[in-house]
Amino acid sequence: MRAGDLNRRITIQRRGDAKGGWGGSPKPGADNWEEVGKAWASIKTLSGLGAIKADAEMSVVKASIRLRWRADLAAGMRVLHGGTVYDIKAVLPDTARREHVDLVCEVREG
């Protein structure tokens, strides 16, 4: 894997515990994310498609993110790059050579 291909600095996050004050129970409807780490990656947009859901127009963009090998990634996490949030739908590791991991992601706007 060439280092020049990894030209985007990303932040990887997983859903954390949204605790109430003083370590109480989770807040209802809280959306709390904690940082897993940062990495250099390449981001490629695969497709964009329009869909109508519940009488609201939405666009769904699919992307592939490739980064160096790491074993702590899972579907349900997310990647941040600039102001864009990528929801990780699948993790495809290069198990033969352990050089990289491809993340199948979606970006939703609408």
pLDDT digits (tens, 9 = 90+) for 6-58: 999 999 999 987 665 565 555 555 679 999 999 999 999 877 666 666 666 67
Question: Rounded to the nearest 5°, which phi and psi values hold at 98?
Answer: 55, 45
Question: All domains of the chain, ordered by start, with CATH?
Answer: 3-109 (2.40.10.270)
In this prediction, residue 5 carries a pLDDT of: 85
pLDDT digits (tens, 9 = 90+) for 55-106: 666 778 899 999 999 999 999 999 999 999 999 999 999 999 999 999 999 9
In this prediction, residue 4 carries a pLDDT of: 73
In this prediction, residue 31 carries a pLDDT of: 76
Concatenate the DSSP letters of all residues of 26-88 into one string.
Answer: BPTT---EEEEEEEEEEEEEEEEEEEEETTEEEEEEEEEEEEE--S---TT-EEEETTEEEEE
